[in-house]
Amino acid sequence: MPRPSVSDARLYLCTDGRRDRGDLADFLDAALAGGVDIVQLREKGLEAREELALLEVFRDACDRHGRLLAVNDRADIAYAARPDVLHLGQDDLPVRVARDLLGDDILIGRSTHSPAEASAAAAEPGVDYFCCGPVWPTPTKPGRHAPGPGLLEHAAALETDRPWFGIGGIDLANLDEVISYGVRRVVVVRAITEADDPKAAAAEFRRRLTEAARAD
């Protein structure tokens, strides 16, 4: 499989395994059909075998739609599951360790929560994309300081070719405001995972982000 590119991606979905609902494959099909470019399994407290089993469902869905699969945090899970992307937070393994372990055939992303971290991620060797946020406080990351629109404007002004995503509390009600800060790519959780119609929600995100990027 050729190394996938993240530069065309606009919409990045993080979701748990939906074991309470039991509709993971159908949900992923809907979100990916709607326009999600990257899907990450993000569920704290999973045992490795549980995570690997869920990732097989994610892998099948991403393959059906030709989209990218991301693993969160654990480079050893990525080593076993061979996703397209490994996403690392500031408290996760150093990028150089993950890159050394996984080689060049995987995309590595970074979370950033301040202008200094965003600038560092834009320059750090081995990083393929980065995320900036949370834009607004989010229940997904309780207690985390929300750096707000200033971080997005900082990222938009960076001279970098690396794709970057706004993240944290973004939904269809505030998307236009987010776009106004210079964001052209977003990571969402609840705006799609809790949508009545995940496919329609994803399609609307994709449409507005693509339109904004075309107008640049």
Q: Is 80 in the site for its own copies (CB under 8 A)?
A: yes
> Which position among 43, 76, 124, 177 is part of the footprint of its own copies (CB under 8 A)?
76
Give the whole-angstrom CA distance, residue 71 versus residue 80.
11
- Taken in order 159, 165, 166, 168, is the CA torsion positive or negative? negative
Tell me how far apart the alpha carbons of residues 206 and 212 are, in angstroms, rounded to a whole number: 10
In the complex with its own copies, which residue's Cβ is closer, 57 or 101? 101
Q: Whose Cβ is closer to its own copies: residue 79's or residue 136's?
A: 79
Can you tell me the distance from the alpha carbon of 207 to that of 89, in angstroms, rounded to the nearest whole number? 28
The annotation status of 43 as a binding-site residue, yes or no, is yes
Find out whether 73 is annotated in a ligand binding site: yes
145: CB partners within 8 A, 6+ apart: 113
Q: Does 43 bind its own copies (CB under 8 A)?
A: no
Contacting its own copies within 45-64 (CB under 8 A):
47-50, 52
CB atoms within 10 A of CB 202: 24
Q: What residues form the annotated binding site?
A: 40-44, 72-73, 92, 111, 138-141, 169
- Binding residues for its own copies, rule: CB under 8 A, are 47-50, 52, 73-77, 79-80, 89-94, 97-98, 101
